[in-house]
Amino acid sequence: GQNRPVSALAGVATALPALMRAEKLQSRAARVGFDWPDIASVRAKVTEELAEFDTADGDAHRREEAGDLLFVIVNLLRRHGIDAEDALRAGNAKFERRFHAMEALAGPDFPALPLAEQDALWNRVKAAERALQR
């Protein structure tokens, strides 16, 4: 057998949550110089991938572009020192907290409310949270 060098990506566990694995793959690639030179380049790639997602034809192509978009967003977060898994966990918790507060304000009739009224409740909950943070 030939002696092939071990890949820079070797050892990144396939069982990791996808966002965490993307971050680790990107970090490993960056260690050997495969990374965008600056955050502006990463932001440009986010815009490019979003456009590709928007113009994807068919479910398989759209799913592929969705993966590319998520992957580059993980890269943007990594470049800012933000753990994607933690960020999404916090985003989920915030959504859940606000949604429950909105349901509590509306009462049992919440599902029957028109979207505009649900949205108004969402904005009310969001404003109340922000007022408490000040």
**Exposed, middle or buried: residue 64 (CB in 10 Å: 0-12, 13-18, 19+)?**
middle
pLDDT digits (tens, 9 = 90+) for 71-107: 999 999 999 999 999 999 999 999 999 999 999 999 9
For residues 57-62, average pLDDT:
98
Pinpoint the alpha helices (H) of the chain. Answer: 18-31, 39-54, 59-79, 84-106, 115-133
Q: Average pLDDT over the chain, rounded to whole?
A: 96
Q: What pLDDT score was predicted for residue 127?
A: 96
pLDDT digits (tens, 9 = 90+) for 28-47: 999 999 999 999 999 999 99
For residues 98-119, average pLDDT:
97
* Residue 47: count of CB within 10 angstroms of its CB: 10
pTM (2 d.p.): 0.86
Is the pLDDT at 1 greater than 70? The verdict is: no
